Amino acid sequence: MIRRLAATTLTCMALTAPAAMADVVLADVAELSGAGAAAGAVWHDGVKMAVEEINASGGILGEMIDLKEYDSQTDPQNSRAMVQKAIDEGAYVLLGTVYSSSTVVNMLVAQQNGVPQLTGSESPTITAKGNPYIFRTAFGAQKGLPKLVSYLKDGLGAEKIAVVWANTEFGKGGYDAFMSIADEQGLEIVADVSTEQGQVDFAADVTKVKGSGADAVFVYLTEEESARFLIEAEKQGLELPLGGDTVLVSQKVIDLAGGAADGAFGHVGLSAEAPVPAIQEMAARFQEIYGYSADHNAIKGYIGVYVVKYVTEQIGEFDREKFAETLHGLCLSAADYPGVLMDVCWDETGEMSRESFLVEVVDGSQEITESLPAN
């Protein structure tokens, strides 16, 4: 009896062990709750979708992806703990976090442990710290903002600008980058309005902008705050052009702000409305599976997983060190690597470049007004 039991146990172990070993663990550390859930949850769905597609087509180097999710609760310290947990649980590559204030903390842990990390954060500081394991899935604000500033100046003929920004790690990075470019271009800043994360009432801020005599407004806030600002601006009848970065014209903000988002424009690295068939197909599948529209965060997460697949297949093994080495200076073309959706390159700091778009919100959806080349 005991012998038979032992034999059965052994057989079971022999059968299950290789299957368990053959999975490659990818960890997604994202803002699934808290103030950043509007961004993190969408990113996570993008990641999930790519993982399912890759698993359905045979995985990476013949191994299935075991996706583990970790909720940072939009708390930088918690995100650090979660990245530690993900690494303890054998993550091959980390995906996330989206909020820059979390990424600057947890990327240190990934660096100490030598685990490559693909982040959705856009704060300029992330790739400026010399961390060899951090890679972006969307370029930093410092690359996108010069394009927006020249549009404000030459496209709209604006000279006086009001700046509304979130006083957080994310907002400060974009604010500093915008101010230095605006200074170079000779734009005059007539109102400088800093706001808090999770701020609900933007009445005073809009009033200040209204009375500043600005020609245009630069809005650099996270998703929910952007929507609240747009709603308040409409309520107070603010007639100025409202321009921003990816977030201001993102699908999430349009959904939250409704009609108030119409007329807002921005420089966008990734958009479901981009005139790129691969992105539109991906967005349509996303809509079908999750029942809501994909935005830049979903596309970032989606691309991130495919980058893991392509780079790993290039090096031919699951080696974190080689992964990071290979990704530095790598270019992937959408023709050969359809999962990246658009041609993309990374430099030595993990910063990336890609074609981008100028977008305007018309009748509750994004409309591409111009395509800008990669820089």
- In the complex, which residues of this chain contact another protein (CB under 8 A)? 33, 71, 73, 76-77, 80-81, 84-85, 87-89, 101, 104-105, 108, 125, 129, 167-169, 171-173, 197
Residue 64 or 87 with smaller CB distance to another protein: 87
Cβ at position 68, least distance to another protein in Å: 12
Cβ at position 81, least distance to another protein in Å: 6
Phi, psi of 24 (to 5 degrees): -105, 130
Residue 290 or 330 with smaller CB distance to another protein: 290
Look up residue 223 and give its two tokens. 């998703």
Q: What does the radius of gyration of the chain's CA atoms come to, in whole angstroms? A: 22
Q: Cα–Cα distance between 47 and 39 in angstroms, integer?
A: 13
148 closest CA partner among 220, 87, 83? 220
Residue 84 or 236 with smaller CB distance to another protein: 84
Q: Cα–Cα distance between 127 and 139 in angstroms, integer?
A: 10
Three-state secondary structure call for residue 39: helix
Residue 169 or 225 with smaller CB distance to another protein: 169
Cβ at position 80, least distance to another protein in Å: 6
Residue 61 or 108 with smaller CB distance to another protein: 108
187 closest CA partner among 219, 221, 151? 151
Residue 105 or 148 with smaller CB distance to another protein: 105
Q: Cα–Cα distance between 273 and 298 in angstroms, integer?
A: 13
Q: Cα–Cα distance between 328 and 181 in angstroms, integer?
A: 27
Peptide bond into 97 cis (omega under 30): yes
Cβ at position 204, least distance to another protein in Å: 17
Cβ at position 171, least distance to another protein in Å: 8
Cβ at position 115, least distance to another protein in Å: 12
